[in-house]
Structure 1
């Protein structure tokens, strides 16, 4: 077989508004000839890919089923094609103006690396892997494809296709900043906070100026020890009605650089005051725990809401935070919430009640 050739598949083109989708059948054994399974990773702080890692136990279970008599996979796999893929309309006209029949022409170049193939697998990763590995000569499957303008559109479709499935939240948070087009409202609201979190997590792992860099646990930073959702909530709360609110714009976007500078200056000062607690994972430190991240976010709002840290510096902020040291039990000792309410240092949990309790305690001490 030649290194370069075309796969021509009979297909139905369906118009949906200004978009087209293509329904066709294909031997599942051949999907990996022209489609890449792109696993999310970062390259020089740029997000690459969008697919979740393969689940080996799930693949093995599907493979065993495929090798059994009368196996059937009725669910279609979803493929995102790039502009190299074309559709040639058949001469026969359809009775429906939004439907056309023809052939989907998919170029294959066996010399290309996987990531340079003409299609990316948006949904059906485990099924296609199981078919590839199964001891069967062929296994035709139903497929639905669309031709995307760019990778950002592919990411958006990946999120939408998986919106009703248990897609890992961490993967969604990684994908949102680079997605375009209409997204569900809950995801659209998280785009700006997710972009900020990803930028906080990038850069040199040096707490001076980059306190969060490499420390937030995400699919591309699996060695991070601070939960991404804790940082996201801290950012969301402040953008809603705290110190970061002034950086927002009416269209839902914001001054990302200004927000990053403000957060890095505040949290660098936090680390200066509570360095030992910052270097420990959440089970050993309540500062890096969800309850600490969110409560200190409210402290940031209280201390910096009307201050430009870039212009004014952090001397007064540092003075205020040093005043909190004797009232914090991040890694040992007892939280003295009141004369009668004493809590063991690690008894505080990432719950609304405990976050409110710790926030009230810290703000009360600041006012004194």
Structure 2
């Protein structure tokens, strides 16, 4: 590239970084956070705000972003509605803003007689940057933003509420809280929780954080029997993948009740959960499961009930039974788990035939209370008999 060309590119880059959208806005504070309220043409939303898609870094496997994939049908329906002509579209889009935005207060505004104090009027300047470098991120309203950008009626003014924060943790936290009542996928929430500061999360979501963190550890640790076998929202699933909701549910059940295998590691108000020891026990137990049933473990859920949600749940219950009998503090816990599982292994029908004694077809094991109860009762009785022999 010659000097003239470089100068043109540099000038263009400088010009694009210098441009900004300036809007009338109101500023107020919630705690230490600045919150802005303004209106802008809907088509310009995607000019200033990026959609931070959830994905994982291929090398470090670190979670990035938080937004689910575009729901094309939903976007198309909103676009068609807007294209009909003048429309009422009062739903506010929520943005997160970098501190790079500039708010200029208006002079001479009288506030003495206002019933609500703490609100300042002014102008908000938001720099326009290329995709991936923008200073605003859509927290709620991505489908609406996409539809507005594609609509013939993109000039319609839409309300925007924005908070100032460059912290991805805060963005994820607000994304979960705002979308929680809208049928947000529990799988998406679970994957985001370990990467989210739990300071302001509801208690029930905080309780889901440890199972999801363990699910992620099982998926990304090379010596784990689940290594790259768990299907997560952020990654393209392999055909042999075990769905993450089955694994997180299995872990959560081991942390609850009166006989959960991980209950003693859950922690309390004084002591934090011992995630490291939980992982050790889970990895050892499921490694023993994989070693005892190698063919069934290698097959995808549609060909093996062991790797289905029902199979993961059933063997999770057997983990409780085994740990209740043999305890937890053993040097060679891997071999101990293998020995215990082998005592009832012949009573399993994961890939063909019938479940002995109960006469149920191998593929009749489903994620229903009745179906799983029959198999758990059958395996539990076989384990008791083996112990008494």
- TM score, norm. by length of structure 2: 0.86
The question of whether the paired residues in 2 share the 8 Å contact of 1:214 and 1:221 is answered with no
Could you say which residue in structure 1 is the equivalent of 2:44? 30
SS at match of 1:117: coil
Task: Give the superposition deviation at 1:46.
Answer: 1.2
227, 238, 248: which one aligns with 1:213 = 227
218, 223, 227: which one aligns with 1:200 = 218
Structure 1 unaligned blocks of 5 or more = none
Residue 242 in structure 1 maps to residue 260 in structure 2? yes
10, 14, 21: which one aligns with 2:35 = 21
Distance in 2 of aligned mates of 1:315 and 1:60: 56
- TM score, norm. by length of structure 1: 0.90
345, 359, 363: which one aligns with 2:380 = 363
The number of residue pairs the alignment matches comes to 357
Residue 74 in structure 1 maps to residue 86 in structure 2? no
The question of whether the paired residues in 2 share the 8 Å contact of 1:203 and 1:213 is answered with yes
Alignment of 1:57-72 (within 5 A): 57-72=73-88
308, 313, 332: which one aligns with 2:329 = 308
Distance in 2 of aligned mates of 1:358 and 1:90: 71
Task: Give the superposition deviation at 1:34.
Answer: 1.8
Structure 2 unaligned blocks of 5 or more = 1-11
Alignment of 1:192-341 (within 5 A): 192-204=210-222, 209-224=223-238, 225-240=241-256, 241-251=259-269, 253-305=272-324, 306-308=327-329, 311-336=331-356, 338=357, 341=358
- Which structure dedicates a bigger proportion of its chain to helix? 2
SS at match of 2:161: strand
* Residues 1:329 and 1:27: Cα distance change in structure 2 (over 3 Å): same
Alignment of 1:107-186 (within 5 A): 107-110=127-130, 114-136=131-153, 138-148=155-165, 150-180=167-197, 181-186=199-204
SS at match of 1:115: coil
Distance in 2 of aligned mates of 1:17 and 1:146: 12
SS at match of 1:293: helix
Task: Give the superposition deviation at 1:322.
Answer: 1.8
1:88-117 Cα deviation digits (max 9, x unpaired): 33332432223221222222334xxx2331
1:132-180 Cα deviation digits (max 9, x unpaired): 1223462321111111251101101001110110211211111111112
